[in-house]
């Protein structure tokens, strides 16, 4: 089964609302839900990941569930039989080849970049990771990467340099989806635009419509 990167939810929080937003986004067609809860303990993160995996699986069995940073937590959840598909890694996390060895060939593994140099370095991971995250698109309060915002035009050279699909992230809103789709990225990751919405499912549906109006059929690997 391919990976649908077009609209990608990164969660915020660790309460029941987080689980409900994840399920609503999946039901509306989000291809990936990444569970991000940096302040949670290992056990809290494992419990949250399991709850999100159960809710997302019930809402849309085609949506993939990943966990941010923690390949060990992904492994534990998968060993326990939870419907967890992989991990999104940063530069300070377990190296992607080690995560691949731990999680297996069927796992989905993403890796964070955000500059042309980082994208070029990440080409050594072709065959190990499935996609690259790249940001920030614009300044965002949810994660301080220390990198300059890319803006729309900043994605074009990254896409041209990469043999791996690239997902844009960093305060992306529905109004940005069409422009970003036009750069050649494989998808957009959203945090607050979905988690802070009164109707998260509507945000996902409108984002998918905006994407498909520009690049129908693109974003699925």
Cβ–Cβ < 8 Å for 64, 30: no
Q: Is residue 84 part of a domain?
A: yes
Q: Is residue 149 part of a domain?
A: yes
What is the CATH number for 157? 3.20.20.70
Domain coverage including residue 38: 7-214
Annotated binding-site residue? 165: no
Annotated binding-site residue? 10: no
CA atoms within 13 A on the CB side of 9: 35
Annotated binding-site residue? 117: no
Q: pLDDT tens for residues 119-158?
A: 999 999 999 999 999 999 998 776 666 788 999 999 999 9
Using CA atoms, how far apart are residues 119 and 185, in angstroms rounded to an integer?
13
Q: pLDDT tens for residues 21-67?
A: 999 999 999 999 999 999 999 999 999 999 999 999 999 999 999 99
Q: What's the pTM value of the predicted model, to 2 decimals?
A: 0.96
Annotated binding-site residue? 11: no
DSSP 18-73: HHHHHHHHHHHT-SEEEE--TTS-HHHHHHHHHHHHHHHHHH-TT-EEEEES-HHH
Q: Is residue 137 part of a domain?
A: yes
Q: Is residue 1 part of a domain?
A: no
In this predicted structure, what is the pLDDT of residue 143? 62
Number of domains in the chain: 1
Q: Is residue 221 part of a domain?
A: no
Q: Is residue 200 part of a domain?
A: yes
Annotated binding-site residue? 157: no
Annotated binding-site residue? 112: yes
Annotated binding-site residue? 200: no
pLDDT band for 76, please (50, 70, 90 cuts). very high
Annotated binding-site residue? 34: yes
What's the mean per-residue pLDDT of the chain?
96
DSSP tag of 129 = B
Q: Is residue 2 part of a domain?
A: no
* Phi, psi of 209, rounded to the nearest 5 degrees: -65, -40
Mean pLDDT confidence for 203-218 = 95
């Amino acid at each position: 089964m391919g990976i649908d990167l077009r609209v990608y939810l990164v969660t915020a929080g660790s309460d029941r609302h987080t689980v409900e937003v994840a399920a609503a986004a999946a039901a509306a067609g989000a291809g990936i839900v990444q569970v991000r809860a940096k302040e949670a303990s290992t056990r809290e993160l494992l419990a949250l990941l399991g709850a999100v995996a159960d809710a997302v699986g019930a809402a849309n069995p085609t949506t993939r569930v990943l966990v941010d940073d923690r390949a060990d937590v992904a492994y534990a959840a998968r060993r326990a039989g939870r419907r967890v598909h992989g991990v999104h890694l940063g530069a300070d996390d377990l190296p992607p080849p080690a995560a691949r060895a731990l999680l297996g060939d069927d796992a989905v593994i993403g890796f964070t970049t955000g500059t042309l140099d980082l994208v070029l370095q990440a080409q050594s991971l072709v065959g190990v990771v499935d996609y690259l995250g790249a940001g920030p698109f614009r300044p965002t309060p949810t994660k301080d990467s220390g990198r300059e915002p890319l803006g729309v035009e900043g994605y074009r050279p990254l896409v041209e340099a990469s043999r791996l699909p690239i997902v844009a992230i960093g305060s992306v809103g529905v109004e940005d989806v069409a422009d970003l789709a036009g750069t050649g990225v494989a998808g957009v990751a959203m945090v607050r635009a979905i988690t802070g919405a009164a109707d998260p499912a509507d945000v996902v549906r409108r984002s998918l419509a905006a994407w498909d109006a520009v690049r129908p059929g693109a974003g699925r690997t």
